[in-house]
Structure 1
């Protein structure tokens, strides 16, 4: 916990006089997504408030915002915890991803498309894989899908998916073995990018739909095996 709090103290410089609970929630959301606070971690108001230099009321409002985003849970008489994502949550997350990401791709209109962000994320993923940085590859993969959603040019869609992707990262923290989770999709990201570069949004959508279905099956399989192993140990 000391290391995580030290990291938050470094973020204190990001907070100016006009800091709000939204700004605090942005920092905590990023820290949760990066794994500084793993699923099931209890968040101490005193420790985090002290590290960020914010009032208890501001921090509680930030907690409330993140609870609304399903990243935190408040347990009566126990405190606030980082959510532990269930298989049912994972299935719902992917259902939302498929609805939104495929709709964005399908609705792109006539080419050419603004693909610089997608190209940069593919390059980022290739560089991470070359360095055997599998956590970095996972981050690059999230960047790819964030940039794909951004092609819609919709602030509301971006905000919706920001929460969905943050919740998905909670699920990935429980999967482990990031190489096995992310490496198979590096080539698929490139295929989707190439289809869009060729102006074929229909092909890109088909590739994406299969991609998401396969990713869901992989994550659910890991969850199910983990559940069986846990039951065997009881």
Structure 2
């Protein structure tokens, strides 16, 4: 039995969709830590152009699930409790520090707009769209720190966060996603910085607990 059994690729499938399918199989254990992702073999089995497979693997590299090794090519790095905790600790430090600041009217409008876009995305049922808007919402919060370097640092984290957030979002109902972010927005808009910090910490801690349970 092949690790790729059940993974079907339609003619309209993009490299991103293929990357999503491969990442799900990595999380499910079909590919173990240290396993090579042989591009030519995957392309032949799925009937997809090798260039498309290569692009999908590059996307996985950005999520932190795959790394390239000399003489081996793409190798799977399985998500671990330590990796999740390190990633989400960095995220929590940034977002709670940002939430402790008082936003300008322009910054508050940006956060509110990002939330409204997230609500619209949840109505589509498109996981990828929901994750994109979710990340934008949190990026707008980090922008309260008024540091372009920290904005860039958080943007770098989102490459890896995107994978984990996709896993979590698929397990949630759209209305749950809205409620989780509504309480954060309400706290920021009310000017209650302590509550905003607490709500963000609760949101992130809950995500870590759910991910660790899955791992």
**2:107 paired with 1:138:** no
Q: Does 1:129 align with 2:122?
A: yes
Question: Corresponding residue for 1:85?
Answer: 79
C-alpha distance in 1, partners of 2:177/2:168?
Answer: 16
Q: Compute the displacement of 1:216 (Å).
A: 0.9
Contact 2:68 2:75 in 1 (8 A): yes
Post-superposition offset of 1:85: 2.5
Alignment of 1:172-183 (within 5 A): 172=165, 175=167, 178-180=170-172
- Taking the aligned partners of 1:207 and 1:97, their CA distance within structure 2 comes to 14
TM-score normalised according to structure 1 size: 0.62
Aligned equivalents of 1:43, 1:147: Cα separation in 2: 39
Residue 75, structure 1, aligned to residue 69, structure 2: yes
CA distance in 2, matches of 1:78, 1:153: 42
- Looking at structure 2, the residues matched to 3 and 88 of structure 1 have their Cα atoms a distance apart, in angstroms, of 36
In the alignment, structure 1 residue 105 sits paired with structure 2 residue 99: yes
The structure-2 alpha-carbon separation of the partners of 1:139 and 1:183, relative to structure 1 and needing over 3 Å to count, comes to farther
Q: Is the 8 A contact 2:88 2:204 kept in 1?
A: yes
**CA distance change for structure 1 residues 150 and 44 in 2, over 3 Å: closer, same or farther?**
farther
TM-score by length of 2: 0.67
Match for residue 219 of structure 1? Answer: 211
RMSD: 3.7
Q: Deviations over 1:99-155 (max 9, x none)?
A: 11111111x247546123322222122222223333322222111111111222211
User: Equivalent residue for 1:56?
Assistant: none
Distance 2:171 2:140 in 1: 22
What residue is the counterpart of 1:208 in the other structure? 200
Please state whether the residue corresponding to 1:73 is helix, strand or coil: strand
CA apart distance, 1:167? 1.0
SS class of match (1:96): helix
For 2:112, the equivalent position in structure 1 comes to: 119
1:75, distance to aligned residue in structure 2 (A):
2.6
